[in-house]
Structure 1
Amino acid sequence: MSLVHLANTCSHLQNASRARLGLTSIPDTKFHLKLMLALQNSGFLSTVVRGGPLPPPSHNLLSHPSSSNPEAPIDPVTRHNVASRRLWLGLKYWNSAPVIEKMELVSKPTRRIWMDVEGLRRLVLGKKSGYVLGLTRPGECLYVSTDVGILEARECVERKIGGQLICRIR
C-alpha cells in the first residue's frame, strides 16, 4: 500500500469535486479499488468502473454491475495493458454542492497511525485520540485498513477490529 499514491488520489478527488466534474479517473490498483468501493458504499461516489485510458460508455456507468451487457465486453487485463488501466469514478453533488468537500490522509508516508478498538471508539465519539482529532461533523467518515478490508471507523468499532487509519472525508 503506497500512501504517496493515495495522497495524490485524495487531492485529485477533492479538486475534481470542486471543479464540478461528473466523471474522473485514478490509477487502477487493488488498494484504490477497495477504498473507492468503501466510499461508494458510504454514498460519496455514484459509480466505480474499471476501464482503460478512455472513459467507459455511459450505459456501463448507469447499469448495475451484475447485469453485464454482452455488447460491451470488458477488455481482459494483460501484461501489455496493465499500466493503462484506470478506475473511472462518478462524483456526486447535492443541491449543487459537492458531496466530497474535503478528503485528507490521516496516516502519512513517514508516520503511519495504527489504532486499537478503544482509540477508534474515542474518535467515533468525537474525542481526540493520540494525534488524531475525533469525528465532529455530521457525515464525516474515517476509513481504516484492517485485516478484513477497508472499513469505516464506526463499522470497525461495531466489529471490534483495529487497524491503520487511512483517510478522513467530509
Structure 2
Amino acid sequence: MLPHDLCSKLQNAFRARHLHVPVEHTTTNLGILSILLRNGFITNITRGTVDEPDPVAFHSARDTERRIWATLKYRDDRPVLNHMEVVSKPSKRVFMETSELRAISTGRRAQFVRPLRLGEIAIVKTNFKEHEWLEAREALRLNVSGEVICRAR
C-alpha cells in the first residue's frame, strides 16, 4: 500500500466534509495517521472493519476486511488538514540526511523539496524499528535521517 492512496483518501474526505474515513490496515497507514494525530490534524484513530469502527469486530475480521478509521478534525466548520501531498514516489524516492531535514524545517530548500511553511509537517520513515515513523522535527531532535514520505498542512 503506497502513501499516496492515504493522502488522497484523507484529502477527499475533508473536501466532502466526512467525519470518519476508513483506510486499509497497514503499518504505513498506521504510522502516518499516528503522526497526524500527534500533531493535531485528526481527532482519533481506531481499528475496525469495512462497515464500522469497532475494535472488538476488528480481531475477528479477516485481513482483507480490517480497516483503520480516522476521525477528521474541523475547526469553525473548516477542515484542519487543508492539503496533503506525497514527496517520495516509487519512481523518485527522497532520502534526506539530518542537515537536509534541518534545512527544510528552518525555511530553506533541500534537494527539490520546498521548505515547510508555518503549521506544516513532513513525515519521515527511518530505518530504526523503535522510531520508524517520525515528523521531520522529531527526527532532527533524535538526530535520525530517513525518507521523506509526505507533507501535510
Structure of higher CA gyration radius: 1
**1:43: how far off?**
0.6
- Structure 1 residue 159, shift from structure 2 partner: 1.1
**TM-score, length of structure 1 as denominator length:** 0.83
User: Alignment length, in residue pairs?
Assistant: 150
Alignment correspondent of 1:113 = 94
Match of 1:88 in 2: 69
Cα distance in structure 2, aligned partners of 1:129 and 1:49 = 35
Question: Aligned pair 1:39/2:36, yes or no?
Answer: yes
| TM score, norm. by length of structure 2 | 0.92
**Among 130, 134, 137, the residue aligned to 2:111:** 130
Query: Unaligned regions of 5+ residues in structure 1, if any?
Result: 61-72
- Where do residues 15-164 of structure 1 align in structure 2 (5 Å cutoff)? 15-56=12-53, 73-76=56-59, 81-136=62-117, 138-146=118-126, 147=128, 148-164=131-147
Closer, same or farther in 2 for the Cα pair 1:144/1:77, shift >3 Å?
farther
What is the deviation of 1:55?
1.4
Counterpart code for 2:119: G
1:56 deviation in Å? 2.4
Report the AA paired with residue 17 of structure 2. R
- What is the distance in 2 between the residues matched to 1:169 and 1:151? 13
Larger RCO: Structure 1 or Structure 2 (Cα < 8 Å, ≥ 6 residues apart)? 1
- How well do the aligned residues superpose, as a CA RMSD in angstroms? 1.5
2:7 maps to 1:10: yes
